[in-house]
Structure 1
Amino acid sequence: MSEDNSKRRLGRGLAALIGDIEKAEPSEPATVQVTADRRIPVEFISRNPRNPRRHFEEEDLRDLAASVRQHGIVQPVVVRTIGEQRFEIIAGERRWRAAQLAGLSEVPALIRDVDDRTALEIAIVENVQRADLNPLEEANGYELLMAEHGYTQNDLGEIIGKSRSHVANSLRLLKLPEGVRGMLADGILSAGHARALISTPDPLALAQTVVQKGLSVREAEKLAQKAIDGGGSRASRPARQKDADTLALERSLSDRLGLAITIDHKSDGGQIKIAYSSLDQLDDICRRLERNP
């Protein structure tokens, strides 16, 4: 019961902790700032070491720093107290970094009293809601909440305002080899391209081909299917190219269920295969089928 209550509080907590900040538009002059609790020296503030966001574009930070020099910080950072005259960021690390680049000695801050768990949850959810994470950071954030705090995919979907299948598809990206995940984190490969490669025999080689040739997601899906069809004995299972409509249907169903879907269509019928990796996923499939007899 306490776990469920905590998860419900998280949704309300985001509004309570950072909701007021959203009222200020980035283009507003410094004179229309949201009222902060106090101004804190930048050296008294440290980042949340468990914030899922690891990558900050240098050019974006420089642009924000230039704006900060002209207008000041319009949106206060949100922090919590972690010791005497020491604070840890809950939300607003990018603004704090830009303030240092701009040469500011203090930043306006909202101070909130939250525990370690809530600080972690808010750091993850706040970044996801503001689309500040790359696909791999987002997936790692979901996995951290599920592994350490018992969240289900449905819980996360409800809290961040996205579908369960979106969460499931994000988590699937963690199955990719390190090389492909690096390309995804660097923005060289999109999440759509990466998902198409998950079930292939050599995702890294295909990812390099996709990038080098500048293939679209649909083209990457066709390339991936060729690799899958050609993975077995050519004598017993010749490679067969699926038509675009079948590939599109596979992708649509996969996105809806958050699981790998394979359609084997022939002139006189065919079969649909649903791949699952845990009993929880199997239970979820069964519940969905039972709800739609």
Structure 2
Amino acid sequence: MAKATRKQALGRGLSALLKDPENDIQSVSDKNAEKVVGSIVELELESIEVNPFQPRSNFDDQSLEELASSIRELGLIQPITVRKLGFNRFQLVSGERRYRASKKIGLERIPAYIRIANDQESLEMALVENIQRQDLDPVEIALSYQRLIEEIGLTQEKLSERVGKKRSTITNYLRLLRLDPIIQTGMRDGFISMGHGRCLVNVESRQDQIAIYEKVVGKNLSVRDTEDLVRSYHEKESDDGGQPRKKSGTSPAFAREGSRELRDYLEAEVKVVASGAGAGKINISFSDRKEFERLKKLITGA
């Protein structure tokens, strides 16, 4: 108990240090910065603003109420993380649910880790930490990956290292952003799973995507049923002359198993189409020239 009291007292002492105009810490090289940065400090909630880079856009009210009740009974166990903006002004990097729940029960102060970071670093920290720690829906994860690629300038390879996910996993999430917004909303609201979305993204026409999506939701189809529906859709597509294609049937087992092995090895989307006689073709997708060069190196060994 005495140890906890000392820790809390230290937090209050650092809070006073931060509110001293003569000790306005703006960088890690400033006087007393080493006492504050990375330490747990008690901050006034009114001195903290929400993070505009927060990837989570949906906060479940019931979940927040449960968290607020837990904080009221047990206190806040895990501190939030903030970055310093200016004198006694801070911005959330992670922990918005804890921040919101604390405000809900009327707390005036909250324990926080302090970071000193620029906007780009703050965005990256917020996105990576939320991807790793929060229960984001598939579309929010995909949008977070996209922002890390576009706004931070990470390649898929670097992103894979940063978040600890396979490139193929990241690619699968990013492909969800090709879905019509109506379907993305359905996935976020739980009407369909990511597995359903991965099937529907293979339909290029958004109008046809929605038509199949409505069947999936209306009939409560499984992912396997959705795969069959999308396969049937492609079989019924017209060729260039406007005539229906000849039904090709299911690919043989060697093609299905081989496509999975290639997908795992290349960490890319691979489609294998083969006839019963064994003839067919392999289609490998890539997102940019760098991705193409990576695949070429893997395939040729050069």
TM-score category, normalised to shorter length: 0.7 to 0.9
2:151 is paired with a residue of what secondary structure? helix
The Cα shift of 1:72 comes to 1.1
The Cα shift of 1:288 comes to 1.6
Aligned runs of 1:174-185 on 2, under 5 Å? 174-185=177-188
TM-score (norm 1): 0.81
Match of 1:264 in 2: 273
Distance 1:218 1:49, change over 3 A: same
AA aligned opposite 2:221: L
Q: Which of the numbers 259, 267, 283 marks the counterpart of 1:273?
A: 283
2:113 is paired with a residue of what secondary structure? strand
Q: Which of the numbers 215, 239, 242 marks the counterpart of 2:250?
A: 242
Distance 1:132 1:204, change over 3 A: same
Assess if the C-alpha contact under 8 Å between 2:252 and 2:275 holds in 1.
no
**In structure 2, how many angstroms separate the alpha carbons of the residues matched to 1:244 and 1:219?**
19
Q: Which of the numbers 178, 196, 199 marks the counterpart of 1:196?
A: 199
Match of 1:102 in 2: 105
**In structure 2, how many angstroms separate the alpha carbons of the residues matched to 1:102 and 1:153?**
41
Cα distance per residue 1:74-113 (max 9 Å; x no partner): 1111111112222101111110011112221221112121
Cα distance per residue 1:39-98 (max 9 Å; x no partner): 222222111101111111111111101101101111111111112222101111110011
Q: Which of the numbers 41, 46, 60 marks the counterpart of 2:44?
A: 41
Distance 1:58 1:250, change over 3 A: farther
Q: Gaps (5+ residues) in structure 1?
A: 1-30
The Cα shift of 1:147 comes to 1.1
The Cα shift of 1:278 comes to 3.0
Query: Is 2:223 aligned against 1:217?
Result: yes
Match of 2:159 in 1: 156
Aligned residue pairs total 262
Largest Rg, 1 or 2: 2
Query: Is 2:66 aligned against 1:57?
Result: no
**In structure 1, how many angstroms separate the alpha carbons of the residues matched to 2:227 and 2:259?**
10
Q: Which of the numbers 70, 77, 80 marks the counterpart of 2:80?
A: 77
The Cα shift of 1:256 comes to 5.8
Assess if the C-alpha contact under 8 Å between 1:261 and 1:274 holds in 2.
yes
Q: CA RMSD in A?
A: 2.5
**In structure 2, how many angstroms separate the alpha carbons of the residues matched to 1:44 and 1:56?**
22
2:65 is paired with a residue of what secondary structure? helix
**In structure 2, how many angstroms separate the alpha carbons of the residues matched to 1:244 and 1:51?**
46
Q: State the identity as a percent.
A: 35
TM-score (norm 2): 0.78
Distance 1:255 1:32, change over 3 A: farther
Q: Gaps (5+ residues) in structure 2?
A: 12-39
Match of 1:288 in 2: 298
1:149 is paired with a residue of what secondary structure? coil
AA aligned opposite 2:250: K
Query: Is 2:201 aligned against 1:230?
Result: no
Cα distance per residue 1:140-182 (max 9 Å; x no partner): 1111111122211111111111111111111111111111111
Assess if the C-alpha contact under 8 Å between 1:184 and 1:191 holds in 2.
yes
The Cα shift of 1:34 comes to 7.8
1:289 is paired with a residue of what secondary structure? helix
**In structure 2, how many angstroms separate the alpha carbons of the residues matched to 1:180 and 1:247?**
27
Assess if the C-alpha contact under 8 Å between 1:121 and 1:145 holds in 2.
yes
Distance 1:191 1:254, change over 3 A: farther
1:199 is paired with a residue of what secondary structure? coil
Match of 2:115 in 1: 112
Distance 1:280 1:97, change over 3 A: same
AA aligned opposite 2:126: A
The Cα shift of 1:236 comes to 5.0
AA aligned opposite 2:283: K
Q: Which of the numbers 195, 203, 214 marks the counterpart of 1:208?
A: 214
Assess if the C-alpha contact under 8 Å between 1:166 and 1:255 holds in 2.
no
Assess if the C-alpha contact under 8 Å between 2:248 and 2:275 holds in 1.
no
The Cα shift of 1:272 comes to 1.8
